[in-house]
């Protein structure tokens, strides 16, 4: 269990140098006021059709290098937080009201270490009561895909949500209860519908999801895929393709099959980024005291599917301690520097907090984005939040994600990127063209 150091608020004092009577020249730096830097964060909430609106129940704490609070800033009605700082790089913690699927009112906190002030920061909130779906239009019907004859269809894939599929005959497959949403007045997303057997696959695309009288949308295949072998053994592999800002053909191939279905022939193929990821599990263990796990994962983004299928997570555990967690001290200092070439540590605590008014359970997730070695912000109390998390609050889960992006050169690339995209994990990132991402995941759940 992590303990907290006492909180003490700090105040920033800026001294202006006075002008001497000796008549300094116009280029004398002593005549200039101290440099200041402007930082802006946009707090948003995304609805069912992907439309975003401002989210005002957000605070940002400006902190020093030791995570002591310098100032507190409330988002305005437009969800904007604006901070003036004397430093070009700053530490911040974003604290927002949170309500997920369990219906429990709570909080979420995200901290960033030494982000550049000129980064356009984004925070995406989650709160079921404040989700505005009035801009959404959604429909649900069956899709009937007509395709080349196959009586051995093994599975169906779609970029749209659907409940199940049924092979009606050798040339027709029904996707049941397909849901599609759009922002009112805008075009529908063009979704893919694919089926596959052991050797090949067939895909069709559909865009207009206006409800029909017969309750179905008719789709005809105009693309195909093939089964491609890969060399990974004892590892499941998940493959997909990214185009039109949507993931398509997401499928997990079990290790013993050593095959993936790749849809390499369709109308969007020239603009496709192939993605594949695989895990190597070092340890998964449960006990009456909780569960622990350690695994590595590699994800490859490439316009060549052969490159993506060469994904290879490390089989070296780098001597990461998942039993006593020696890398994280009670003081909040942590050190994973022995894990070579992984420059960012994303560390999350799930606190066993209580609602101060009702005393009901109120789990709080606090995630820190920082360098591979540093100090956790969770050991600093936040003003006005002390009755939710203090030095005696238990930690129910600790999760560590050590990141290596092959396309990044240094830690500053990591922190600026993740502050900008709004704490999205690798599988949610849609802006990749060519990159390899390697991760170590360490988890303790009590």
User: Does residue 33 register a pLDDT over 80?
Assistant: no
CA–CA gap between residue 344 and residue 387 (Å, rounded): 31
Comparing 339 with 8, the larger pLDDT belongs to 339
Tokens of 243: 């185009």
What is the Cα 16 distance to its own chain's centre? 43
**How would residue 29 be classed by pLDDT, with cut points 50, 70 and 90?**
low
- Decide if 81 contacts 119 (C-beta within 8 A): no
Task: Write down the domain spans for the chain.
Answer: 34-131+274-446, 135-271
- Decide if 308 contacts 300 (C-beta within 8 A): yes
The helix (run of H) or strand (run of E) holding residue 206 is strand 200-206
- Decide if 395 contacts 372 (C-beta within 8 A): no
pLDDT in tens, 293-327: 999 999 999 999 999 999 999 999 999 999 899 99
State residue 184's pLDDT score: 95
What is the Cα 428 distance to its own chain's centre? 6
pTM, to two decimals: 0.89
State residue 2's pLDDT score: 40
**How would residue 22 be classed by pLDDT, with cut points 50, 70 and 90?**
very low
**Interval 339-353 mean pLDDT:** 97
In sequence order, which residues have a C-beta less than 8 Å from that of residue 233 and are 6 or more positions away?
Answer: 255, 258
């Amino acid at each position: 269990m992590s303990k907290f150091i006492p909180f003490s608020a700090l105040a920033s004092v800026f001294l202006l140098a006075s002008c001497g009577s000796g008549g300094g020249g116009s280029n004398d730096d002593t005549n200039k006021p101290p440099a200041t830097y402007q930082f802006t964060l946009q707090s948003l909430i995304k609805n069912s059709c992907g439309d975003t609106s401002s989210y005002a129940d957000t605070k940002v704490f400006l902190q020093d290098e030791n995570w002591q609070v310098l100032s507190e800033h409330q988002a305005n009605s437009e969800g904007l937080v604006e901070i003036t700082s004397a430093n070009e790089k700053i530490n911040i913690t974003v604290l927002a009201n949170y309500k997920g699927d369990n219906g429990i009112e709570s909080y979420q906190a995200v901290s960033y270490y030494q982000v550049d002030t000129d980064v356009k920061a984004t925070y995406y909130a989650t709160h079921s009561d404040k989700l505005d779906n009035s801009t959404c239009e959604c429909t649900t019907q069956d899709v009937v895909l007509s395709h080349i004859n196959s009586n051995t269809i093994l599975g169906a894939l779609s970029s749209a949500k659907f409940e199940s599929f049924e092979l009606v005959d050798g040339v027709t497959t029904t996707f049941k209860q397909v849901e599609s949403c759009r922002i009112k007045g805008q075009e529908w997303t063009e979704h893919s519908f694919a089926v596959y057997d052991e050797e090949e696959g067939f895909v069709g695309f559909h865009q207009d999801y206006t409800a029909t009288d017969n309750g179905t949308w008719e789709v005809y295949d105009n693309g195909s895929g093939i089964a491609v072998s890969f060399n990974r053994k004892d590892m499941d592999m998940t493959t997909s393709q990214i185009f039109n800002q949507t993931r398509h053909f997401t499928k997990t191939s079990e290790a013993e099959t050593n095959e993936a279905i790749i849809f390499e022939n369709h109308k969007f193929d020239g603009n496709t980024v192939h993605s594949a990821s695989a895990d190597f599990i070092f340890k998964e263990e449960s006990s009456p005291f909780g569960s622990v796990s350690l695994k590595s994962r590699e994800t490859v983004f490439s316009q060549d599917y052969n490159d993506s299928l060469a994904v290879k997570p490390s089989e070296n555990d780098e001597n990461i301690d998942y039993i006593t967690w020696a890398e994280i001290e009670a003081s909040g200092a942590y050190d994973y520097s022995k894990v070579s070439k992984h420059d960012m540590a994303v560390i999350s605590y799930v606190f066993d907090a209580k609602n101060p008014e009702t005393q009901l359970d109120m789990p709080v997730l606090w995630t820190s984005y920082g360098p591979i070695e540093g100090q956790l912000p969770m050991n600093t109390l936040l003003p006005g939040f002390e009755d939710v998390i203090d030095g005696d609050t238990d930690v129910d889960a600790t999760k560590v994600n050590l990141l290596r992006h092959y396309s990044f050169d240094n830690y500053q690339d990591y922190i600026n990127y993740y502050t900008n995209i709004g704490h999205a994990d690798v599988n949610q990132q849609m802006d990749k063209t060519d990159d390899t991402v390697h991760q170590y995941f360490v988890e303790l759940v009590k």
